[in-house]
Amino acid sequence: MPEQPDVVLVLADDMGFSDIGCYGGEVATPNLDRLAAHGVRMSQFYNTARCSPSRASLVTGLHPHQTGIGILNYDDAPDGYPGTLNDKCVTIAEVLGAAGYGTYLSGKWHLSSDLHTPNGAWPTRRGFDEFYGTLEGAGSYFGTRTLTRGETNIEAEAADPDFYYTDAISDNAAGFIRGHHRDRAADPLFLYLAYTAPHWPLHARQQDVDRYAGRFDEGWDVLRGERMRRLVESGVLDRGWAISDRDPAVPAWDSTDDHAWQAARMAVYAAQIDRMDQGIGRVLDALEQTGRLANTLFVFLSDNGGCAEEMPVETVRDFITGFVAFDETTRAGDPVRPGNSPEILPGGEDTYATYGREWANLSNTPFREYKHWVHEGGIATPLIAHWPAGLGTEPRIVHGPHQLPDVMATVLELTGAPYPAQYQGRDVLPPEGTSMLPTWRGEQPPDRTLYWEHEGNAAVRRGRWKLVRKYPGGWELYDIDADRTELHDLAGAHPEVVADLAADYQRWADRCGVLPREQVLALYERRGRALPQ
């Protein structure tokens, strides 16, 4: 066995802060809960509010704008982000591969503007020895588009009646581990396991959906309160923080019609997470059976908060085709019924739906806002770190704040892999992160400033203060130590703090190539779309 630890990074897609069991949720996640019971849970880890930017930051240790992916993997050149990984960054797979690691990716990439013809931003050309997964951002779990092995399209494999993308991601990941141990047992491995679950569309195996029959019948108001209680009792959240009010755009459960349909939406969403956890269990089995688990750093997190995107039946095709591929028929030739409507029970291949703002508000308990925005509901993620050989097996909850570039810094420290100033003859930007190992071992993280920007939504956090704005509004200021749920805007009481942090944010934005808000709006208008409201 290698002396260097193996590294497994597991990323969920569009999953809120409090969905999984060990973070207060109703979803059965025994495998993630087992990792948390013998590892670290972080209460203040942050993503970057959207799938492509979070993935770019995770795999490069940079802020997403520095990598060329400021919004999504759309080519907005020459006056916008190129939407594809640029030559100024180096991926974690490239760094670890140069240090002797076998490198594997199973799942969603979403970091190349070209989904069909290999370019310099495809996984196999950014350091991964083997790749199984998809290039696009979302789509059917049953008839998956851009399904690729290496650089070969294998969409035909999805024609198998038993194909379900989450299972395929898990099984290929477990296969990579077993294959590496068979062929390169003395070498360490790096596995990036990037699920699409529970991103829309709501597609799940019926046996998983059946497990949640009746579980959400009490509705989002009661369940938000129950999640908050469990989060506080477990020590993840401070007892002094009040739960945010129900989103004003979300009606009270008792005044909502179609309770059965609403509960069914959340049941399918829960089933998607449940199936992901089952697959994580098979990956853990592969590590245990090969004797590698004890010296594996296994990290789980989500790429953004819960997603409030709706799919009104009247406009759903415009919404879908603007972002992802959409098939009008199932593999058997039956019509697909897209949109959120009580007449369409979600879950099957012949549907294409989301769980909506109502349930996203539950997913992000106790915080405000959602995916796209950089209030806590958009950027707070559960993060579990499990590494028996390096962290022990006693459970710990750590409260020091960290963000995505810190993952690369942590992996570099624990593996000893050197970060290059140049890679394959090109200069690369220095990493932006700070290692989390000291924090995981009980130390306070160093004083530092954290930054976020997405679609004109922006934030900066230094110490107790967080300055945040929701496009096109102005700056709000919160004392995160006393009010992490962002209920009391103190901007008017502390204008000097606002001015200081705003100037600090602008220096960071200029350094990292963040586009002005107006330019972002123009890019969306050019594509015939509006920024999320």
Point out the residues that are catalytic: 51, 110
Comparing C-alpha atoms, which of 4, 15, 57 is closest to residue 383?
Answer: 15
- Asked if 490 and 477 count as a contact pair (C-beta separation under 8 A), the reply is yes
Distance CA 445, CA 45 (A): 12
* Cβ 325 vs Cβ 298: under 8 Å: no
Q: Strand locations in 322-374, DSSP E?
A: 337-338, 351-352
Closest CA to 45 of 440, 525, 483: 440
CA dist., res. 469 & res. 479, Å (int): 15
Which structure tokens are listed for 342? 């009580």
Spatial separation of the C-alpha atoms in residues 11 and 195, rounded to whole Å: 6
Q: Residues 379, 36: contact at Cβ < 8 Å?
A: no
Instruction: Say what angle helices 30-37 and 259-289 make with each other, to 10 degrees.
Output: 60
Please give the angle made by the CA atoms of 385, 96 and 34, to the nearest 5 degrees: 20
Q: With the C-alpha atoms ordered 11, 86, 152, 323, is the resulting torsion angle positive or negative? A: positive
d(CA 65, CA 451): 12
Concatenated DSSP letters of 249-318: TSPPGGG-S-HHHHHHHHHHHHHHHHHHHHHHHHHHHHHHHTT-GGGEEEEEEESSS-------TTTHHH
CA-CA distance, 295 to 280, in Å (whole number)? 17
Q: Please provide the DSSP assignment of 389-413 as one string.
A: HHH-SS-EEE---EETHHHHHHHHH
